[in-house]
């Protein structure tokens, strides 16, 4: 009996030591063979989170924000200290050379399923703009966060607009604006315009309480539980709607069907405020209409897009690009109903870039000037 106990203790100590090393590594990359052989499962490309660090952080005004300490599966930090998915802290922007683009939205702008920042569509947009404008001719800041509605994006934008001073703001929203209605069982008239009785701030202590005891006190538990901490029943995005799992389809459809004139009005008012803030500061505002392929959500996103089209006023610097209408074939472009693959992000960046350099004056003028300069050099 004593030998069995000593043997069990030795095995546990060995596993705990290995788990400690994995836990300190903070990434599955480089230890893939261990996970393939021991956990008997391969990480799928579609997995949202493949590391032991939480992608999200608590925030007093936004329900949640991107965690500055988050590392992707390559062990790289992809958020700056302010919680933006961006390489810099904005202090190094060269306003004498760079045209600054502020891209905002939810997970389809943040690009959850893409590991590297430069492979997201805002990252690819910067690369493509620099091809047209010249090296370091643009800076595209990814200000999006997964799960955010346009209301949360507006709150961040209003705080940062006079710090970053962008030349162009791109808003790519739609589906997330429907989430408060889809995830609430309140009577539609009882849902507050600020969603204060529907959405809740992320609280890490509530997540910690849901962790198994082994995950709290052993590295072995942390490793095994860490693989699922942002998915399944530990998905923190569900928790901002006070849920521990996804809303049943029938509840989503019922919730969406209740949206009426009042709800449409205060939903669209956020976009009007984006446009007003930009107009007041002489910033171009571009609404890119979101592409969603979903029996449940598409009719409602189409209605948001229809209303956004009515807001276009190019004389006031408000532009609307019908990306949803132009993107016909989504094969290999979207992982699911709304999120881009790497190829999709590249395609989206190319389409958005083409619209910008053809229609937004500052970018159009600089592209034309650069083209003329190249032609003059060739001519001489």
Residue 332 has pLDDT above 60, yes or no: yes
Domain segments of the chain as ranges: 97-177+264-379
Specify the pLDDT at position 86: 85
The pTM of this model reads 0.84
Pairing of strands 56-59, 63-66: antiparallel
pLDDT for residue 231 is more than 50: no
- For the segment 212-241, the average pLDDT, to the nearest whole number, is 65
pLDDT of 8 reads 78
Q: pLDDT tier at 373 (50, 70, 90 boundaries)?
A: low
Please indicate whether residue 336 or residue 217 has the higher confidence score (pLDDT).
Answer: 336
151-186 tens-digit pLDDT:
999 999 999 999 999 999 999 999 999 999 999 988
Specify the pLDDT at position 274: 98
Select from 81, 94, 199 the least CA-distant residue to 137.
94
- Note the pLDDT of residue 42: 33
Look at residues 133, 132, 106 and name the one whose alpha carbon lies nearest to residue 120. Answer: 106
CB atoms within 10 A of CB 215: 20
97-177+264-379, CATH topology level: Rossmann fold (3.40.50)
Nearest to 321 by CA among 363, 355, 285: 355
> pLDDT by residue (tens digit) across 240-282?
888 877 788 999 999 999 999 999 998 999 999 999 999 999 9
| 125, burial (CB in 10 Å: exposed 0-12, middle 13-18, buried 19+) | buried
């Amino acid at each position: 009996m004593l030998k069995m106990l000593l043997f069990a203790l030795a095995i546990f100590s060995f596993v705990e030591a290995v788990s400690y090393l994995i836990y300190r590594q903070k990434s599955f990359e480089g230890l893939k063979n261990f996970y393939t052989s021991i956990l008997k499962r391969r990480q799928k490309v579609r997995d949202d989170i493949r590391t032991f660090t939480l992608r999200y952080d608590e925030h007093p005004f936004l329900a949640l924000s991107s965690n500055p300490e988050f590392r992707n599966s390559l062990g790289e930090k992809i958020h700056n200290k302010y919680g933006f998915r961006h390489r810099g802290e904005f202090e190094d922007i060269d306003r004498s050379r760079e045209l600054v683009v502020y891209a905002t939205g939810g997970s389809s702008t943040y690009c959850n399923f893409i590991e590297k920042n430069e492979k997201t569509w805002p990252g690819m947009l910067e690369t493509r703009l620099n091809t047209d404008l010249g090296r370091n001719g643009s800076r595209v800041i990814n200000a999006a966060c997964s799960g955010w509605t346009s209301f949360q994006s507006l709150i961040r934008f209003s705080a940062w607009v006079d710090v970053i001073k962008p030349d162009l703001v791109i808003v790519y929203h739609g589906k997330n604006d429907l989430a408060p209605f889809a995830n609430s069982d309140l009577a539609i008239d009882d849902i507050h315009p600020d969603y204060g009785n529907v959405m809740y701030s992320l609280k890490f202590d509530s997540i910690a309480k849901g962790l198994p005891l082994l995950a709290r006190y052993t590295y072995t538990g942390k490793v095994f539980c860490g693989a699922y901490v942002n998915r399944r029943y530990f998905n923190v995005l569900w928790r901002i709607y006070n849920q521990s799992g996804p809303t049943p389809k029938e509840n989503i459809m019922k919730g969406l069907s209740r949206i009426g004139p009042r709800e449409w009005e205060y939903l669209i008012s956020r976009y009007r405020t984006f446009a007003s803030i930009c107009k007041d500061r002489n910033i171009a505002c571009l609404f890119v209409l979101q592409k969603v392929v979903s029996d449940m959500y598409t009719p409602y996103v189409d209605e948001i897009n229809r209303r956004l089209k009515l807001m276009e006023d190019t004389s006031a610097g408000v532009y609307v690009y019908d990306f949803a209408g132009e993107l016909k074939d989504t094969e290999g472009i979207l992982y699911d109903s709304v999120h881009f693959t790497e190829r999709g992000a590249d395609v989206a960046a190319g389409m958005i870039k083409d619209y910008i350099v053809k229609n937004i004056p500052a970018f159009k003028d600089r592209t034309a000037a650069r083209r003329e300069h190249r032609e003059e050099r060739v001519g001489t």
